[in-house]
Amino acid sequence: AEPVETEEEKQKRLRLERLVEIEAGEVRRQARVAEDKFGYLFLFALQLLPLVGTDRLESVLYFFGVAVTTVYLGGRQEVIDKPEQVSKNNALYAPIGASFAIGGLYLLLKVGIDITSLYAIMVTIFGALAISDIGVPILRNAFTQIDFATAEVPVPKVLADKLNLDQPTLPLDGLVTLALGVVCTLIYWAPAAMEQKFLISNAIAWALGMVSLGAISLGSFQTGAILLAGLFCYDIFWVFGTDVMMTVATKVEAPVKFLYTAPPSDTPRSYPFSVLGLGDVVIPGLFVRLMAKVDEVLQPQNLSYFNVATGAYAVGLLACFGVNEIFHNGQPALLYLDPSLVGSALACAAVNNQVADLWDFKEEEEGEE
The residues that are catalytic are 235, 280
CB of 331 within 8 A of CB of 320? yes
Rg over alpha carbons for the chain, rounded to the nearest Å, is 22
**What count of Cα atoms within 13 Å lies in the side-chain half-sphere of residue 175?**
10
Length of the chain: 369
User: What gap in Å lies between CA 352 and CA 301, rounded to an integer?
Assistant: 6
Under 8 Å between Cβ of 314 and 242: no
DSSP readout, 258-309?
A: EEEEPPP-SS--SSSEEEEETHHHHHHHHHHHHHHHHHHHH--SS--HHHHH
Report the alpha-carbon distance of residue 142 to residue 139 in Å, rounded. 5
What's 168's DSSP letter? S
Which residue in 337, 254, 293 sits closest to 64, CA to CA? 337
Residue 257 parent element (H or E): strand 257-261
Cα distances from 364 to residues 90, 148, 368, 369, in angstroms, run 18, 32, 6, 7
The contacts of residue 217 (CB under 8 Å, 6+ apart) are 82, 83, 84, 85, 86, 286, 289, 290, 293, 363
Task: Please answer whether residues 71 and 307 qualify as being in contact, where contact means their C-beta atoms are separated by less than 8 angstroms.
Answer: no
